[in-house]
Structure 1
Amino acid sequence: PSVYLNGELFSQGAITLEKIIQKLDVNAEKRQAEALKNKADFDVLVVGGGPAGAAASIYAARKGLNTGIVAERFGGQVADTVGIENFISVQYTEGPKLVNSLEAHVREYNVDIMNNQRAVALRKDGKVQLELQNGAVLNSKTVILSPGARWREMNVPGEQEYRGKGVAYCPHCDGPLFKGKKVAVIGGGNSGIEAAIDLAGIVDHVTVLEFAAELRADAVLVKKAKSMGNINIITEAQSTEVTGDGSKVNGINYTDRKTGDKHHIELAGIFVQIGLVPNTEWLRGAVELSPRGEIIVDERGQTSVPGVFAAGDATTAPYKQIIIAMGSGANAALGAFDYMIRQ
C-alpha cells in the first residue's frame, strides 16, 4: 500500500509508527544528529540490522567490546518474509516473528541500537568513520558492514508508473490487496515460486513468468506449485511492458524467447521476484566491490580496508540465506575481535 501526504508520496509498503513520527517531525533528524555526534568511539560498529548484523553485534558484545549497531530498519528483508522452513532447529517461523526475536536477543546485551538511521559514507583516517544521512559522524576502531540487499527491478516500461498501483515486490505485504484477482509473479527462483504458492491461497489465479528455459527453484517448491490448481508456469518468457489504465495495472506484455511471439496477459497485480541487489552504492570507492556490487571479503570477513569487515547478502558469500548470513555475521565479529587484539 502507498500513503500520500498532501498529494505527494509519503511512504510505500510496510512502515513502523516510529518511522512515521520521524518523517512527520521536520526537526527529528537535526536532534538525532546532535545526540549521535556526541557518542563515544565504538570498538565495533555494525551497519545493518538484518540477521548478519544482529549476529555480529551479539558476538562482538559477548567479547566485552563497546558495540553499536546502525540500522535503517531492524530485520531488513527478513521482515518481509512470510514462511521460513529452512532455519535449522526451527521447523517453521515467519519473518516478523524472527525479527522480533533477533532484536530481543540483541537487546539482552549492552549494544547501542541506533534505529532508523541510514549510512551514507565510510572513511578511514586512523579510526573508521561512518557518516549518517542526518549529518552525524560515528567513530569506531572497527566496522562490520551488513547493509543487506533489496529486490531487483524489471526495468521495463510501466514498472515505475504503476509501482504501488499493481506492481509490488512483497507478496506478504501486498498479497491480500489482490484477493480473488489474477496476478503474475516475475521470476522462477525460490522467491518467485514461494510467492506464487503463498499468493495462490489468496488470489484467483497466479501466472509465473520465468526468463530461463527451466525454473531455478528447489524441486520441492516446484512440485508444490504444480500441484496447485490455480498456478500457471510459463518459461522462456521475457517481460517487456507493464500495462495499465492510467491509475492501476491491467496486464503485462511478454515475448516468448523461443518463438518470438508476443503475448499479453490481463492481470490486476504483478509481483517482481527476480533476485537481489546489494545495498552498496554508498560504498563505491570506500571498499573493493565485485562487478555485481558485492563487498569482497576473505574467509574472516575482512574487506580491502584493514579494520573494516562485512557479512551477509551484500558480500561475495555465494548463497543468500538467513542462516548463512547469521554465520557470516558471527565470523566477521570474531574477525574484528582478532584484528583488534593484534593491533
Structure 2
Amino acid sequence: MKAIKNLTLILCLVFLVGCLNYSSTKNFKKLDASVVKIDDSTYPVVIIGGGFAGLTSSIYLSQGNIKHVLLEGTIPGGAITASHSVCNWPGEKNISGIDLANKIKEHAISSGANIINAQVNSVDFSVWPYLINIKENNQDKIIQALSCIIATGATANFLDIPGEKEYFGHGVSKCATCDGPFYKEKTVAIVGGGNTAITDALYLSNIAKKVYLIVRRDTLRASGKQTDTVKNKSNIEIIYNTNIKKVIGDNNKVIKLEIFNNKNNSTSELNIDGMFLAIGAKPNTELFKNKIDLDEQGYILTHKNQKTSKSGIFACGDVCEPEYKQLIIAAGDGARSAMHAQSFLAKIGFSTPNTNIENNVQDQAQKITPEKQDVQEIAPAKKSVPTKNLTQKSQTFGSVIEVTDEQQFAKEVLNYKGKVVADFYAHWCFPCKMMHPIVEKLAKELNTIKFIKTDVANVEILAQIWGIRGVPTFILFENGQEVARFSGGRDEVAFKQIINEKLNN
C-alpha cells in the first residue's frame, strides 16, 4: 500500500513539472517578437533609471547591438552623484561620485546608448509589448517595450519627526557634499551609523568645528578603516543609544535638537547649526506596486538572473538590494540584466539587426528635471541693505545674469524696480547643475522678469547676508524686496507656477 502511495506521488510530481515546463514554453510562444514592428516608440528593451545599474545595462546592450532607450528619471547618474568621495570603485583610488557617474555615462554614450531625460508616469505590464507612459519635455507619451530593465534605485529616508521637513534646506540636509561648506567652523550633527554616515562625518570634520555622530544603537553598523578614523578624530563625537525626537529652530534656521537616550530613558537638548541625514533609503517602487512582486519593504523580488515575476522584466541595483547598496553590485546586476534580457529576446524570436544602432542621444543638459524636494517656503527675512535709487524696468531680458559681488547684486536686484528671480547655487552642487537648464529656459520664456544667479561658494558674503544654508536656494524679489524663497529643486512646471503665484506674473 505504501509503495502505491509513493508511486502515485511521484507520478503527480512528474505531471506537475511537465505542466509547469509546458506553461513556461507556451508563455514564450505567446510572446512573438517577429510580429512586432520596432519603430520610434517601440523598443526591444527599455531601461528605467539612469544610475550605475541602468547605465551598465545600457553599455552591455549597446555593445550587443540591441536597440534600447534609457530613461534617466530625476537623478541622472543616481544617488552616488551626491557623494564627495568614492574609494572602493576598482581602478579609482579616490573619485567624486559625480565624476565617476559622468565617466560611466560617457562610456555608455560612446558605446551607442540612447539616453533621454524623461520621467515615467505609469507602466502597464498586463499587456505585451509592455506599455510605459513617460513625460519628456513636459509632454506625455507612451512607448512600448518587448523587455524592460528596472533600475530606479532608492531614495534617502527622513526621520519623520517634528521640525524636520519645516527646516529642510534651512539646517536640515540629506547631502553633506552639497551643503557641508555652509557649516565652516560651525557645529553639525549626522544621524546614522552606516557607511554613508561615516563618510559624511569624515568629510564634515574637515569643515565644521564640531561633528556629532548620533547612533540609535550601541555600535556602528559600518566597518573598515574609515570607522577607526572616525573614532579617533578629535572633533568627532559619537553619541550612541540615542534617537532624535525633534528639530528645533528660530523660524529661520535650526538651532538645536531634542534627543532621547534609549538606554537610560533621559531627554536632553543638543545645540547645533545643522543636521545631516544618513539613515538609509527606501526603494523607488511606487510605479510597480501590484504590477510585479515586491517584498514587505517594497524592494523588487528577483529570482535567478535578475528576473522578476513577469517574463522579460528584470530589476537591478538598489531597487532590489535591501542589504548591500554598493556600486559594484549595482553594476554587476546591470550587466547580468542586460545579458538575460538579450537571451529573453532571442527566445521570443527577436533578431538583432546587423546594422549599427543609431545613437539618438539628445542634448542632455537641456532636458534635466531635478528631484522635487520637500522643503517649506519661509517668510521673507528683513535685510538691512538699502534699496535706494530704484532703476526703472524698461527692458526685456531672456538670459540669466551672473552676479559676482555684493555691489553688482545691489545694482541688479536691490536697486531694481521690477521682478527678479535670484538663483543662489554652488558650483560643486549636482542638484544646482540640474536646475541650470530650467532656469535658463524660464529666463527666455518669462523675459520681463530678471533672472540672476550667484555662486555662493565664491561670493560668501551674499550667502551670509541672505541666510543661505542650502543649495540651490531661490529668492524672489519685487522692487528690491524679498517676497518668497524656497530651497531644493523643482521641475519646470512647478517652478514656473511658484514664480507666477508669488510675483503675480
* Shorter-chain TM band: 0.7 to 0.9
Q: Compared with structure 1, are the counterparts of its residues 88 and 168 closer, same or farther at alpha carbon in structure 2 (3 Å cutoff)? A: same
Unpaired runs of 5+ residues, structure 2, are 1-38, 349-505
**How far is 1:287 from its partner?**
1.1
CA contact (8 A) 2:211 2:237 kept: yes
CA offset digits 1:23-81 (Å, max 9, x no partner): xxxxxxxxxxxxxxx82311111011100000001111111111110012320101101
Maintained 8 Å contact 1:296/1:316: no
Q: What SS does structure 2 have at the residue aligned with 1:97?
A: helix
**Where do 1:310-329 residues align within 5 Å?**
310-316=315-321, 318-329=323-334
C-alpha distance in 2 between matches for 1:294 and 1:231: 34
| CA positional deviation for 1:318 | 3.6
* 2:45 matched residue in structure 1: 44
User: Deviation at 1:89?
Assistant: 2.5
CA drift at 1:316: 3.7
Q: Which sits farther off after the overlay, 265-274 or 297-306?
A: 297-306
SS in 1 for 2:304: coil
Give the structure 2 partner of residue 118 of structure 1: 119
How far apart are the structure 2 equivalents of 1:182 and 1:318?
Answer: 31
Instruction: Find the counterpart in structure 1 of residue 293 from structure 2.
Output: 288
Q: Which residue in 2 is equivalent to 1:105?
A: 107
Deviates more, 1:265-274 or 1:101-110: 101-110
The 2-side partners of 1:171 and 1:182 are apart by 13
Whichever residue aligns with residue 243 of structure 2, its letter is Q
Which residue in the other structure is 1:278 paired with? 283
**Letter in structure 2 aligned against 1:154:** L
The aligned runs of 1:217-236 (5 Å cut-off) are 217-236=222-241
User: Equivalent of 1:212, from 201, 217, 229?
Assistant: 217
In the alignment, which of 131, 147, 153 is matched to residue 129 of structure 1? 131
Under a length normalisation based on structure 2, what TM-score does the superposition of the two structures give? 0.59
C-alpha contact 1:67 1:110 (8 A) present in aligned 2: no
What is the distance in 2 between the residues matched to 1:165 and 1:317?
Answer: 30
Instruction: Quote the Cα distance in structure 2 between the aligned partners of 1:316 and 1:84.
Output: 19
Instruction: Spell out, residue by residue over 1:276-333, the C-alpha distance to the aligned partner (whole angstroms, 9 max, x if none).
Output: 1111112111111111111111121111111111100001464110011000000011
> How many corresponding residue pairs?
305
> Please, what TM-score do these two structures have when normalized by structure 1?
0.87
Where relative contact order (Cα < 8 A, 6+ residues apart) is larger, the structure is 1
Q: Percent identity?
A: 30
Structure 1 window deviating more from structure 2 (241-250 vs 88-97): it is 88-97
How far apart are the structure 2 equivalents of 1:83 and 1:91? 10
The secondary structure found in structure 1 opposite 2:308 is coil
1:135, distance to aligned residue in structure 2 (A)? 2.2
CA RMSD of aligned residues (A): 1.2
User: Secondary structure of the residue that 1:202 maps to in structure 2?
Assistant: coil
Q: 247-256 or 133-142: which moved more?
A: 133-142
- Structure 1, residues 120-141: CA drift from partner, whole Å, max 9, x if none? 2111312011112442111111
Give, in whole Å, the separation in 1 of the partners of 2:93 and 2:226: 16
Moved more, 200-209 or 122-131: 122-131
2:335: which partner in 1?
330
State whether residues 171 and 254 of structure 2, in contact with CA within 8 Å, keep that contact through their aligned partners in structure 1: yes
Letter in 1 for 2:307: Q
Q: Which residue in the other structure is 1:248 paired with?
A: 253
Matched, 1:174 2:189: no
Verify: 1:53 aligned to 2:58, yes or no.
Answer: no
Instruction: Give the 3-state SS of the residue equivalent to 1:104 in structure 2.
Output: helix
- Tell whether the 8 Å contact from 1:57 to 1:111 is kept in structure 2 after alignment: yes
- The SS at the match of 1:93 is coil
Q: Is the 8 A contact 2:41 2:142 kept in 1?
A: no
Instruction: Return the alpha-carbon distance in structure 1 between the equivalents of residues 310 and 140 of structure 2.
Output: 23
Contact 1:189–1:215 at 8 Å: present in 2 too?
Answer: yes
1:163 and 2:168 correspond: yes
What does 1:291-310 align with in structure 2 at a 5 Å threshold? Answer: 291-310=296-315
Partner of residue 14, structure 1: none
**AA in 2 matched with 1:96:** I
2:396 maps to which residue? none
Question: Counting helix residues as a fraction of each chain, which structure ranks higher?
Answer: 2
Q: Measure how far apart 1:111 and its partner are.
A: 1.9
- 2:69 match: 68
Q: Comparing both structures, which one devotes a greater share of its residues to strand? A: 1
Q: Which runs of 4+ in 1 moved over 2 A?
A: none
| Partner Cα distance (1:196, 1:76) in 2 | 21
Q: Is residue 153 of structure 2 the alignment partner of residue 152 of structure 1?
A: no
Moved more, 240-249 or 217-226: 217-226
Q: Which runs of 5+ in 1 are unaligned?
A: 1-37
Measure the CA separation in 1 of the matches of 2:208 and 2:321. 37
SS in 2 for 1:84: coil
Q: 2: CA distance between counterparts of 1:219 and 1:68?
A: 39
Tell me how far apart the structure 2 counterparts of residues 200 and 316 of structure 1 sit (CA, whole Å). Answer: 30
State the AA in 1 paired with 2:110.
E
**Preserved CA contact (<8 Å) 2:261 2:267:** yes
Deviates most, 196-205 or 72-81: 72-81
Whether contact under 8 Å (1:182, 1:203) holds in the other structure is: yes
Residue 141 (structure 1) aligns with: 146
SS at match of 2:189: strand
Contact 1:290 1:316 in 2 (8 A): no
SS of 2:132 mapped into structure 1: strand
Pairwise CA distance, 1:247: 1.1
- 1:128–1:142 contact (8 Å) kept in structure 2: yes
Alpha-carbon deviation of 1:109? 2.3
